[in-house]
Chains A and B, each alone.
Chain A
Amino acid sequence: MNESQTLKRRNRALTGKLWLFVAGSFAFGFALVPLYRVLCQITGFGDQKLLSVAVAPVRAGSVEAGRTVTVEFMANLPTVGNWEFRPSQATLQVHPGQLYEASFIAHNLTGHDTVAQAVPNIAPGEAASWFHKTQCFCFSPQSFKRGEQRVMPVRFFIDRALPIYVDRVTLSYTFYDTALHVAAR
């Protein structure tokens, strides 16, 4: 009824609205996660889905024998010491349209049975849409016995539509021990 009570009520009302605003901002921070995924899919930039999808070998089509592209292989580990992970070959000279097989060697030195997941990446990023894998150890988590060493294949071909100025493509894998994540699920 008096002035100070009206003021109190107005202050409370505005404070409530501002707290709602804060809650909205907090939710927006988390909404950025799916938004980011959508943006990556639209631009094809760093899109893991695109890199981890199997393509049927029939799509390879005819071979463009007159053109050679160098494919480089890289293996990374997120931490040092408990895994050995390397490509069997440093590079391959490939013709667009032809199917090839390369392999990576992994050695479990963690001292226990575990599961690991390879996460692929392709550089330059614009080549990713034309680099197709028909079969890859990165498509699913890999189980390893204690001390086990294994050669893991990846079969791929390069689309003939690869822009003509790209003559070198790097395929890299980071090999994550996911026992922690698997246990959490």
Chain B
Amino acid sequence: MAYTEHAAHDHHDHKPSGMWRWLSTTNHKDIGTLYLIFSCVMFFVGGAMAMVIRLELFKPGMQFLDPAFYNSMTTVHALAMIFGAVMPAWVGLANWMIPMQVGAPDMALPRMNNFSFWLLPFAFTLLLLGFFVPGGAPAGGWTLYPPLVLQGGDSFPLAIFAIHLMGASSIMGAINVIVTIMNMRAPGMTLLRMPLFVWTWLITAYLLIAVMPVLAGAVTMLLTDHFFGTSFFSASGGGDPVMFQHVFWFFGHPEVYILILPAFGIVSEVIPTFSRKPLFGYEAMVYATASIAFLSFIVWAHHMFTVGMPLAGELFFMLSTMLIAIPTGVKVFYWSATMWRGSLSFEPPMLFALAFLFLFTIGGFSGLMLAIAPADFQYQDTYFVVAHFHYVLVPGSIFTIFAAVYYWMPKWTGHMYNMTLAKWHFWLSTIFVNVLFFPQHFLGLAGMPRRIPDYATQFADWNMVSSIGGFGFGVSQLLFPYIIYKCIRGGEKATAQVWEGAHGLEWELPSPAPYHTWEEAPTPAQIAHGAEH
């Protein structure tokens, strides 16, 4: 434990106090914390909107809202969850864990790191300001399709600038991650020794810098179409609204992998720990992640089978989409193989990782159904699509964020959290998420369209079930910040390794991790011990 001795003599462990510390910090742990708190706040903001949606859909008929406000709810819920909750959570985890996992003292570009975080509160202030301007918040759907989006009120430019800021923030975050991983690894931490979370984030970061600028371009074109008389997407001036869909989904499909690849990394670390076995097929996992990322660039038009495309195009996008099932299947089987004959235990991170494994796979299967072009003509824009992407995003991304927080929180705070409450959080979430989203498959197959505040009475029963699941899921999430708060305030002292089967450089550090870590690079022995995959 040479490291602790060093830390005890560390005279640089000073930080400014109060607000100024958080505004000016360049410490990767502080910034990681800020990102995670921001993400948690946006999770509840977006979640509150989801509750409003489920309340309106509880019964057929118009209950509480006017249709325009309902449309704002679905639009802003999506933007808040994607850009406000899930993406900042991944960047926060990357900030906290990547330097500790590769043996670096901090992120490579600490000041840019601070800037990229502080853009986010401004971005979301702009977005949410839309509720208070004439015309109401954006209501044309998060996909921003013209010409509908161009008919929005004064919130349209606010939303566009918000997206510009979110994009700038995540591009800077991604650059920081790449430079940190490429240049700051400790001597001896070769690329193929890196933990899977670092690997998946490296690939995610490249996806981010490849497609976020394309989104920025697309929304800039919307802006000039609306205000400066260009006609990129306006048919009257020779443009084509369908082109927006192509440009948008060229961003949008890699974006869904940006939301899920870091989740694959988390699961690849949690399952081996609680199976007390090295990850099965480490290198294959890396290559599978890379091939998923590559394929994500050539499948975008499966989101738009019904807008009109040559038959050859439909076939190409259908088959290339189905191809993604192969590397994803490799991953699912390898996680299962990791558990085979392992000595399993079921602490909260493992429970969430297992729920991910089952429920994400369900979402993957409905994705395969949607990939079939002729079948998609029936599923397009129904609740089947809603069920599909919520299955891959909620028990996919969100559950793994829970798994990651429950996995690393003792390392961050130095305390164990309340395992019983965390297990309650798990069981309530897992039961209610299925009550919430599984019936939406039936609704979609029966033909209920998405993005409507009212519906035919034949859909009433399953909508009520789904709403009950929604309220249950929403209320159970309140446990999460409570558990975190209690864990920060106190609790059983955590050991350095925390979990019996945990391997990796972060577990070579004491708990809580000191403010500055790995200022002296880890020893080859520590790296070798950590890289037992």
Chain A residues at the B interface, C-beta cutoff of 8 Å: 7, 10-11, 14-15, 18-19, 21-23, 25-26, 28-30, 32-33, 36, 40, 43, 45-46, 48, 78-79, 117, 119, 125, 174, 176-178, 180-181, 183-185
Contact = CB atoms under 8 A, between A and B. Distances in A.
A29 B209 contact: no
A183 B229 contact: yes
Contacts of B109: 11, 15
Q: Which 8 A-B pairs give the minimum distances between C-beta atoms? A: A184-B229, A29-B217, A176-B236, A26-B213, A25-B213, A29-B214, A119-B235, A18-B175
B325 interface: no
A30 B230 CA distance: 13
B482 to A, nearest CB: 40
Contacts, number: 102
B183 A14 contact: yes
A178 B236 contact: yes
Contacts of B178: 14, 18
15 contacts: A19-B175, A22-B212, A25-B212, A26-B213, A26-B216, A28-B213, A32-B247, A33-B221, A43-B310, A45-B309, A79-B151, A119-B236, A181-B237, A184-B228, A184-B230
Contacts of A23: 213
B210 interface: yes
B218 A29 contact: yes
A32 B249 CA distance: 12
A30 to B, nearest CB: 5
A73 B230 CA distance: 29
A40 B232 CA distance: 15
A26 B238 CA distance: 23
A49 B229 CA distance: 21
A30 B250 CA distance: 12
Interface string B130-149: 00000000000000000100
A21 B229 contact: no
Interface of B: 108-109, 147, 151, 171, 175, 178-179, 182-184, 209-218, 221, 228-232, 234-238, 240, 242-243, 246-247, 250, 308-310, 313
A59 B218 CA distance: 42
Contact of B108 (A11, A40, A45): A11
- Secondary structure type dominating chain A contacts: helix
A79 B235 CA distance: 13
Given A181-B231, A184-B229, A185-B229, A117 B183 contact: no
Nearest to A177: B236
Nearest to A184: B229
B217 A26 contact: yes
Given A32-B214, A33-B243, 12 more contacts: A11-B109, A14-B178, A18-B178, A21-B209, A21-B210, A22-B212, A32-B250, A33-B232, A40-B240, A46-B242, A178-B237, A181-B229
B242 A25 contact: no
Given A125-B308, A176-B235, A46 B240 contact: yes
A93 B179 CA distance: 68
A117 B209 contact: no
B216 A29 contact: yes
A7 B246 CA distance: 41
A129 to B, nearest CB: 13
A161 to B, nearest CB: 19
A85 B126 CA distance: 39
A21 B234 CA distance: 30
A12 to B, nearest CB: 9
A23 B214 CA distance: 10
Contacts of B228: 184
B179 A180 contact: no
Contacts of A184: 228-230
Contacts of A125: 308
Nearest to A47: B240
Contacts of A45: 308-310
Nearest to B168: A22
Contacts of A21: 209-210
A26 B179 CA distance: 20
Contacts of B240: 36, 40, 46, 48
B209 A18 contact: yes
A15 B179 contact: yes
Contacts of A46: 240, 242, 308
A99 B313 CA distance: 35
Nearest to B312: A43
Contacts of B108: 11, 15
B214 A28 contact: yes
Nearest to B243: A36
A29 B213 contact: yes
Contact of B229 (A11, A78, A174, A180): A180
Given A14-B182, A18-B178, A36 B308 contact: no
Contacts of B212: 22, 25
B214 A25 contact: yes
Nearest to B150: A78
